[in-house]
Structure 1
Amino acid sequence: MFSITWTKNSRWKSLLKILGGSISLRLRYLRLKRRPEGETQYRTKGILVDLRTKKDFMLAVALDIPTDIVPDSELIEVSLVGDLLGAALENLDKLIRQPYGCGEQNMLNFVPNIVILDYLKASNLLTNSIQQKALKYLELGYQRELTYKHKDNSYSAFGEGDKNGSTWLTAFVAKSFKQAQKFIDIESSAIIEPLRWLAAKQTRNGSFPEVGQVWHKQMQGGGSNGLALTAYVLTAFVESMSLTDEFKDTIDRAARFVNEQIEKSSVDTYSLAVTSYALNFAGHPASDKAFSLLESKSQTEGESKWWIKDMEKDKEREGIVNPWETCIPNAINVEVTAYVMLSYLYRNMYTEALPILRWLLAQQNGQGGFASTQDTVVALGAIAKLAKKIVGQNKDMSVAFEYPPGDSTKLKLNQDNAMVLQKAELHSKKVRTITVDAKGTGLGIVHISYRYNVNKKGDFPLFNLAPKVEEASTKDHLILAVTLSFAGGKESNMAVMEVTLPSGFTIDDEGLKALKMTDKIKKVETKDDDTVVILYFDKVTSESMCPVISAYKSFKIAKQRPVPVTIYDYYDNSRRATEFYSPMPSEICDICDADDCQHIGRLSQ
């Protein structure tokens, strides 16, 4: 047996002193991954470098890294790709960092592959290797989605674990299955039967109410008399028109309802964005009015254009600033803006859509996705639709990433490597400003991705969160009670809580079974070798609940640092809270053999 003492915080290479019995060994470097203390924060700045009409481009980018981070926890990476979907293509299995373990979130394993295949095929860029990779993910996503189907052919987030199927998810699935039919074998009945279920739910006035659990309130919550949901369901029926004319009356009544709502009521921005998309997609005469109303709600700055949900406008007027909204792309705003961009593209306004593209790319993460599932699915669809029109064959670009005190990292782009996502890690962790200097021809996408750890809770928490180590805990057995409630209103959307266990601890099967039987927890998962526990909730309300996590020490580790518990609203990730907790303290002598204890004690000082 030997003990390892960390003497320098580093990502991969760490200086170690190893003592084994009476033999002292010094290894200069050992490749060993160590997770820094605190909670990791991920940030990305996406930049569209357009050299189609000019020969150079320069932009100074500031990295928003706080001064009080965990020392040496920074990692800064730059990347370059010559295709608007190049980053997504490289990361089809990890487009977002959030977990996706329910029926709606599983569609992230499905829809982007349709988008990628459709785009590459239309652009004559589809290779056999890319096709096989995308088809594999498409088939896996399809088979997994079928596990969330109810006996009545509807779908819901947790399948038969939910009381009813969901109007929204059933429409999403039926529409996506129809789009995937040209790539994989999907029976027409797998599309038509869910649509029949939906048609039976249509009300007399033509609207579609949500009969299942509400997880995404902007879409399902009934705002503007349920306009957004009805408009979205309408697109699923329009998508199926090549399969059957069975739903013509259903489509006509839904379109009439949507048109009436635009004419007679004040419509919120989210509902208007979805409605404009649906009407333009269907080629309906009312699309002009919806589009005109949307234009009056746009936001512009420099060469970028975007839309925000109405609540954000109210906060701006009142001077309320949630710091999370300034550093984390808002999933709802991305989704709204992507729906608007689709309206532009259905109206053949490709040049006018470029400012919207710039804003969307600035919100993109380093993997090519966005913050959550819906914003990723809708935004990738919009970007792909525009990419078909602006794809070019003339690419010859050199990009220099310059940073103090005079260092530079260079990446080159040409026609041969345009689809390859090139990455480079900066040698210095102290960089806070990077100048992007590009020269040449063509179009490229630059990402500056960075991460760092913080060991304090965030400001402006919108959940109440109180992790407490119970008195019955020991140094080898952790019993953690987490009291939580929603502080941002009556209730949240679907919420996810990630509980990081202290170093050396893992949760076992019995602990997982106990959590799965806990009221209000819909699903339990783990990641990072059972050292992080993920809990899904349909919603979190103002009424407190208190799940209990039981974990055991699997590795002999002493002097553990505090670890985070984080909860967030899945569809609005500015709604979040983080708190830290510490296990019962373990000292060096608690984990070593008696003969070695005195030597290890001296070594750790």
Structure 2
Amino acid sequence: MSGILDLSHPMSAEATQGSYIITAWNEKGEQTSQNFDIKEYVLPKYEVKVHLPQTITILDNQATLRTDKTGCATQIIDVTRFALNESKFDDFEVETEMEEYGTGVSLKGNGKASFTDVIVTVCFEDVPQAYKPGIAYEGKINVTGPDSTPIPNEPVYLFLQNSGTSEDWTLTTDSKGIASFSLDTSLWSSESVSLSSFVKIMQGEGKFSCEKDGEVSVKVSAEALKTEELCGNEVATVPEKGRIDTIVQTLLVEVSVCYQRELNYKHDDGSYSAFWKSDESGNTWLTSFVLKSFGGAKPYIFVDPAHIAQAKAWLASHQQNDGCITSVGKLFHNGMKGGVGNQVSLTAYITAALLELDGNTTDPMVEKSLVCLKAAVSDKLDSTYTTALMSYTFALAQNQDMRAKLITHLDKIADTSGGNRHWERAEASAWKTDSLEVEMTSYVLLALLSGPSMPGFGLDYSTAIVRWLAQQQNPYGGFASTQDTVVALQALAKYGAATFSPEGASTVSVSSAGGLNMEFTVNQNNRLLYQEEQLKEVPGDYNIKTQGKSCVFVQIAMHYNIPPPPDFSAFNISTETLGKCNGTKKSLIVSVDVRYNGRREETNMVIINVKLLSGFVLDKSSLRPLKNDPTVKRVDLEEGHVIIYLDGLIQKETKTYSLAIEEVVPVRNLKPAVVKVYDYYQTSDEAVSEYSSPCVESKYKTFL
């Protein structure tokens, strides 16, 4: 027999440096050996790199250089003094120096960019030299930037001159910078037809995004490099664990990429949906979320106003006479529905997005929406989620009476145990952070901080909310789901701005009975620096002491595995495995049954995560019937996992999904693989099961 056996042998932390040989053998006496070295560990060396665009155009006015010894400083370089339009220079060079904190070691880096007077190149491709009346005249327009890279999603204007008459079209380039056209020639009458094309180049004062108007962003980064050079008597390596120093920087390029990617989900009518053309129509909630996101990105990157206007017009087309907005398309985040009804909470969310966009309370769509919300407030407030969301919406609308009424009501039902303050929902899980509780608590915090201070609801009141939110935050900075993370971070940022002080410093000391002593210093120079240290005494008793005057966030995270909880689960999940175990190549069919048992009529979007058995791969032919299932919106393959996206599950309805997997490498002592189902927007609603190979477990069924 052949296979894989995974064993390990612990080494002493004081092991002697040098070369070692490890030998393994089987019961037949056959053996194999492998050499390895033990060397001392040292901190990594760093290299300073300056990243510049390949070219700087004559339209550019300034370059932004970011660097200092902590990696956070800004120096504006005025490139107009180089008279770029007179072509006096060919290249632009930048040199920078970084001093390593604590050692005084200085490292230098440099970068170079070339100057050009070419802003955009527009050329025709695959265009016939002659046309025949009645047969479509087809071709392409290629649009590239100053560095010859394609310019995607760019409006291109095409003009036709024919016998004294003219026609024009507006095209848009694809991801490769190509705009294709097909023209009807049936009415062309002259022997010679003239075609021309151009794009608009925007100019103006102030800052513009780099992909539209050429603002130059110079980024300086320190990258850890692996090396065999000795530092003292130690070998330098790049650490994967231990202290991590993360510099927080503004990445406008990443924001631009996300903006362009979001446009891939846009429908022709200006709406957006999670699976684009796979969805019958756009979705009101997702369209308003995109509207909100584009509005937030506008101060930092170029956002085409047409995209915002089209999304708003589509939403307005679904506003009823009473001002409420109808839910259209699949609403994957069903928490928007609340207890009052989906139209009220959805209308409140969209109205908040519109007010965040420009703060225009006299906008006709906003005024009609507020009528809908005021009518809802006059009814019984039996949905905490909707009440919290409306309190923020009325705060943005500057309606202080409605804001005060809703916040006063929320105060009466708040949970203030442990010196904290948050808002609960009856359906919440008792053992895991509930995403809707995080979200609605964050909306209350936003409502408090988005208007004038109310008597009895000052910063002390908000601080108790922040304490609870901080306790729900995971070690990676997020919360329970995507949506609650977005809202919570927005609220915490608002609180940070309200409590910001340009002065103050603190020292955080951590000690233990085992002799550990470490200090973290937080001051104005490094307050955006994330500092982390590994606690090696587990279990252990630690003492944390803080001295100074400033706001410091301290979090201790412990990772461990636990079996699935035995209490109530919103989902049921079970698996059945059929196996073809004869022959050298084993194949299995894994069937997953999922059922929703929760209190809602229907879930949000549901994810089924199937981990493949070790040594097995997916038979991709089995994806065809899965993708043809109308409830399946998408299937992804990610490093030994199959991720199945479902529209949602209806209460008490069981669905079955099957996959075929094949063995490619025999594995001894094959362990079961986990299958997990959870609500995408409410991750506390989940269930876990596992499956094994019937070829090693006789209790499972087999097929020939």
- TM-score for both structures, normalised by structure 1: 0.71
1:331 aligns with 2:440: no
Which amino acid letter does the alignment assign opposite residue 479 of structure 2? F
1:572 aligns with 2:676: no
Which amino acid letter does the alignment assign opposite residue 288 of structure 1? A
Match of 1:273 among 378, 388, 400: 388
1:426 aligns with 2:543: no
Q: Structure 1, residues 344-368: CA drift from partner, whole Å, max 9, x if none?
A: 1013443431111111111001111
Q: Name the SS for the 2:683 alignment partner.
A: strand
1:18 is displaced (CA, Å) by 4.5
CA contact (8 A) 2:348 2:373 kept: yes
Q: Name the SS for the 1:186 alignment partner.
A: coil
How far apart, CA to CA, are the structure 1 residues paired with 2:35 and 2:448? 60
Q: Structure 1, residues 565-596: CA drift from partner, whole Å, max 9, x if none?
A: 11111222221111122124569xxxxxxxxx
Which amino acid letter does the alignment assign opposite residue 424 of structure 2? I
Q: Which residue is equivalent to 2:649?
A: 540
- In the TM superposition, 1:120-519 aligns within 5 A as 134-220=251-337, 223-224=340-341, 226-241=343-358, 248-285=363-400, 286-312=402-428, 322=429, 325-326=430-431, 328-347=432-451, 348=453, 349-403=458-512, 405=514, 407=516, 410-428=519-537, 430-431=538-539, 434-454=542-562, 458-472=566-580, 476-489=586-599, 490-507=601-618, 509-519=620-630
How far apart, CA to CA, are the structure 1 residues paired with 2:434 and 2:488? 13
Choose between structure 1 and 2 for higher RCO, CA contacts under 8 A separated by at least 6 residues: 1
1:292 is displaced (CA, Å) by 1.8
Return closer, same or farther for 1:510/1:450 CA change in 2, 3 Å cut-off. farther
Q: Name the SS for the 1:211 alignment partner.
A: coil
Which amino acid letter does the alignment assign opposite residue 442 of structure 1? S
Q: Structure 1, residues 202-234: CA drift from partner, whole Å, max 9, x if none?
A: 011110121111322220367346321111111
1:401 is displaced (CA, Å) by 3.8
Segment of structure 1 superposing worse, 338-347 or 567-576 = 567-576
Return closer, same or farther for 1:168/1:2 CA change in 2, 3 Å cut-off. closer
How far apart, CA to CA, are the structure 1 residues paired with 2:389 and 2:579? 51
Which amino acid letter does the alignment assign opposite residue 460 of structure 1? F
CA contact (8 A) 2:4 2:667 kept: no
Q: Structure 1, residues 426-445: CA drift from partner, whole Å, max 9, x if none?
A: 224x4265443333332211
Higher helix share: 1
Which amino acid letter does the alignment assign opposite residue 441 of structure 2? T
1:425 is displaced (CA, Å) by 2.2
1:556 is displaced (CA, Å) by 3.8
Return closer, same or farther for 1:272/1:128 CA change in 2, 3 Å cut-off. farther
How far apart, CA to CA, are the structure 1 residues paired with 2:404 and 2:673? 53
1:397 is displaced (CA, Å) by 3.3
Return closer, same or farther for 1:432/1:218 CA change in 2, 3 Å cut-off. farther
CA contact (8 A) 1:168 1:220 kept: no
Q: Structure 1, residues 482-513: CA drift from partner, whole Å, max 9, x if none?
A: 01111114432221111111222233543444
CA contact (8 A) 2:481 2:680 kept: yes
- In the TM superposition, 1:38-187 aligns within 5 A as 134-187=251-304
Query: Which protein is bigger by CA-based radius of gyration?
Result: 2
RMSD value over aligned CA atoms?
3.3
Which amino acid letter does the alignment assign opposite residue 532 of structure 2? K
Q: Name the SS for the 1:201 alignment partner.
A: coil
CA contact (8 A) 1:331 1:370 kept: yes
Q: Name the SS for the 1:491 alignment partner.
A: coil
CA contact (8 A) 1:485 1:543 kept: yes
Return closer, same or farther for 1:513/1:453 CA change in 2, 3 Å cut-off. farther
Query: How many residues get paired?
Result: 474
Q: Name the SS for the 2:642 alignment partner.
A: strand
Q: Structure 1, residues 412-456: CA drift from partner, whole Å, max 9, x if none?
A: 43443322212222224x426544333333221112122222455
CA contact (8 A) 1:522 1:537 kept: yes
- TM-score for both structures, normalised by structure 2: 0.62
CA contact (8 A) 1:525 1:533 kept: yes
Which amino acid letter does the alignment assign opposite residue 272 of structure 1? T
CA contact (8 A) 1:4 1:16 kept: no
Q: Structure 1, residues 125-173: CA drift from partner, whole Å, max 9, x if none?
A: x997778752132122212211211221111121121122111111111
Segment of structure 1 superposing worse, 479-488 or 259-268 = 259-268
How far apart, CA to CA, are the structure 1 residues paired with 2:617 and 2:483? 32
Which amino acid letter does the alignment assign opposite residue 434 of structure 2? N
Which amino acid letter does the alignment assign opposite residue 686 of structure 2? R
Q: Name the SS for the 2:632 alignment partner.
A: coil
Q: Name the SS for the 1:461 alignment partner.
A: coil
Return closer, same or farther for 1:29/1:379 CA change in 2, 3 Å cut-off. farther
1:194 is displaced (CA, Å) by 0.8
CA contact (8 A) 1:269 1:310 kept: no
CA contact (8 A) 1:207 1:230 kept: yes
Return closer, same or farther for 1:477/1:198 CA change in 2, 3 Å cut-off. same
Which amino acid letter does the alignment assign opposite residue 617 of structure 2? T
1:254 is displaced (CA, Å) by 0.8
Q: Which residue is equivalent to 1:5?
A: 6
Which amino acid letter does the alignment assign opposite residue 167 of structure 1? T
How far apart, CA to CA, are the structure 2 residues paired with 1:368 and 1:357? 14
% of aligned pairs identical? Answer: 30
Where structure 2 has 5 or more consecutive residues not aligned to the other structure, the ranges are 16-20, 40-217, 222-246, 698-704
Which amino acid letter does the alignment assign opposite residue 486 of structure 1? Y
How far apart, CA to CA, are the structure 1 residues paired with 2:389 and 2:219? 34
1:264 is displaced (CA, Å) by 2.8
Which amino acid letter does the alignment assign opposite residue 5 of structure 1? D
Q: Name the SS for the 2:308 alignment partner.
A: helix
1:180 is displaced (CA, Å) by 1.0
Return closer, same or farther for 1:149/1:220 CA change in 2, 3 Å cut-off. farther
CA contact (8 A) 1:465 1:577 kept: yes
